[in-house]
Amino acid sequence: MSFTLAIVGRPNVGKSTLFNRLVGKRLALVDDQPGVTRDLREGAAKLADLRFTVIDTAGLEEVTDDSLQGRMRRLTERAVDMADVCLFMIDARVGVTPSDLVFADILRKRAANVILAANKAEGKAGVAGVLEAYSLGLGDPISLSAEHGEGLHDLYTALLPIAEKFEERAEEDAPETDVDLTEEEAEDEDFDAIPMPTRTKPLQVAVVGRPNAGKSTLINQILGEDRLLTGPEAGITRDAISLRTDWNGVPMRIFDTAGMRKKAKVQEKLEKLSVADGLRAVKFAEVVIVLLDAEIPFEQQDLRIADLAEREGRAVVVAVNKWDIEENRQEKLKELKEAFERLLPQLRGAPLITVSAKTGRGLDRLHDAVMRAYEVWNRRVPTAALNRWLTGMLEQHPPPAPQGKRIKLRYMTQAKTRPPGFVVMCSHPDKVPDSYSRYLVNGLRLDFDMPGTPIRLWMRGQN
Ligand code: GDP
Ligand code: GDP
């Protein structure tokens, strides 16, 4: 059984845009049952491995008189009644309007499940509107950009509990297969049902970067006090200098690679020491923040440490610091993004967040990026969804036939998380070119929305 999502909200907030994105090319069915107006559109929606029905209440003009207001209310109420969950959309660029309050009221009274979304949240213009959305008292808003496809993963996460209630997760129709999974993998299959990482300890975060990038300043800003400047407390060993804090309410342990360096007196040793400290911190961490200095980004040392974090399989967020003194921000950001893609292709898709450790600007975005990277790092894609996806990928771009020998990719499964690792069963594992593996990895990243984490892919023969 599948669930139904109704997108409600005043005209022009972006409901249709989201509807179209969820429904894609699958024909949007115009609801033409007798007695039902054409104002409700219904479609078959797809979001990663979720399948559901989506109803759009678009098609209304901006309300100008009472009769329309009444119509809009009735239409919304009907959509709410038809739906298992409502996505209430506001425009983050405009903020909360009186019209929005009317909708909020209807939803509070009538809807079983409400997901609040602030759309048009791309860029800075939406920040205030997202914050305002909290005032509606309908829970934490999701920042969406229906037009740019941002925030869809958060929508996915919000929908998971609903989907699970309706047993809509895809395992049921997993293809029959005679593939032998190892015991470990078979056990892993059971975890498909676990949507979010369960965390029993503080999230372990390391801040790494070259000397003077601003690591101490950043950590102090997060801690909200000058704890680092006092240096490591007695009794704390070199290997485990970490600080326990709640960052925006999330328990974290932040591994400091700067405090130790501050103690080092010999200038020449600074670089070496800092890299060594970085290595240690990376090993401890779940999420690594690679802190760059906007003035001198992507230096050799930065690249080494970022590459190390990737090879160690950590979730990675790149933060560009000292943004407060940057003058040509737009241009600079473009440059940085280009340099990032060119110099660190192995971290493709990792978030690049501009911050000022000094003023604290951008820290909330950094926090969100850390949380998201952590979530993605723990992501588990159900086997059925993977195999549907694989079929599509093979059709779109079949594997090559080296020396006339056709490589058959038969089946795939996710063998591990932290970071996500996938096994593809195939006929000639050693003949699959790297470029084809990269095609699959890039596709996984894109189609299952997994930025900010390394993705491992293994080809395995069957015997
Ligand atoms: P609806 O009336 O609520 O269904 O809104 P539409 O989907 O028709 O969107 C209204 C306008 O907002 C259109 O011009 C869209 O292109 C624009 N829009 C929709 N989503 C976004 C978004 O995420 N960002 C921005 N900047 N514009 C958007
Ligand atoms: P670390 O060696 O990576 O720990 O770097 P520090 O935190 O000691 O910072 C190095 C220098 O950069 C100090 O003079 C800081 O005041 C300065 N700094 C750090 N963050 C910022 C920032 O966001 N903006 C500006 N303008 N300066 C910063």
Per-residue DSSP letters for 116-146? Answer: EEEES-SSGGGHHHHHHHGGGSSSPPEE-BT
- Please give the angle made by the CA atoms of 370, 372 and 378, to the nearest 5 degrees: 105
pLDDT in tens, 31-48: 333 333 445 778 888 888
Q: Does residue 212 have a known ligand-binding role?
A: yes
Cα 101 to chain centroid, rounded: 29
Q: Does residue 120 have a known ligand-binding role?
A: yes
What's the number of CA atoms in the CB half-sphere (13 Å) around residue 222? 32
* Best of 17, 22, 61 for a ligand 1 pocket test (most atoms within 8 Å of beta carbon): 17
Whole-number Cα distances in Å, 289 to 178, 355, 367, 391: 42, 12, 10, 36
Q: Does residue 58 have a known ligand-binding role?
A: yes
pLDDT in tens, 66-118: 555 666 777 788 888 888 899 999 999 999 998 899 889 889 888 889 999 99
Residue with the nearest Cα to atom 18 of ligand 2? 214
Whole-number Å distance between alpha carbons of 69 and 63: 6
Residue with the nearest Cα to atom 2 of ligand 1? 12
pLDDT in tens, 138-151: 888 899 999 998 88
User: Which ligand is in closest contact with the Cα of 148?
Assistant: 1
Q: What are phi and psi of 270, to 5 degrees?
A: -55, -50
Give the best-scoring range by mean pLDDT among 130-134, 153-157, 216-220, 334-338.
334-338
pLDDT in tens, 195-204: 334 445 688 8
Residue with the nearest Cα to atom 19 of ligand 1? 14
* Best of 147, 150, 154 for a ligand 1 pocket test (most atoms within 8 Å of beta carbon): 147
Q: What are phi and psi of 301, to 5 degrees?
A: -65, -40
Name the more confident of 392 and 228. Answer: 392
Q: Does residue 165 have a known ligand-binding role?
A: no
Q: How far is the CA of 118 from the centre of ligand 1 (A)?
A: 12
Write down the ipTM of this complex. 0.53
The chain-wide mean pLDDT, for the chain, equals: 78
pLDDT score for 300:
84
Ligand 2 site, CB within 6 A:
209, 211-217, 258, 321-322, 324-325, 356-358
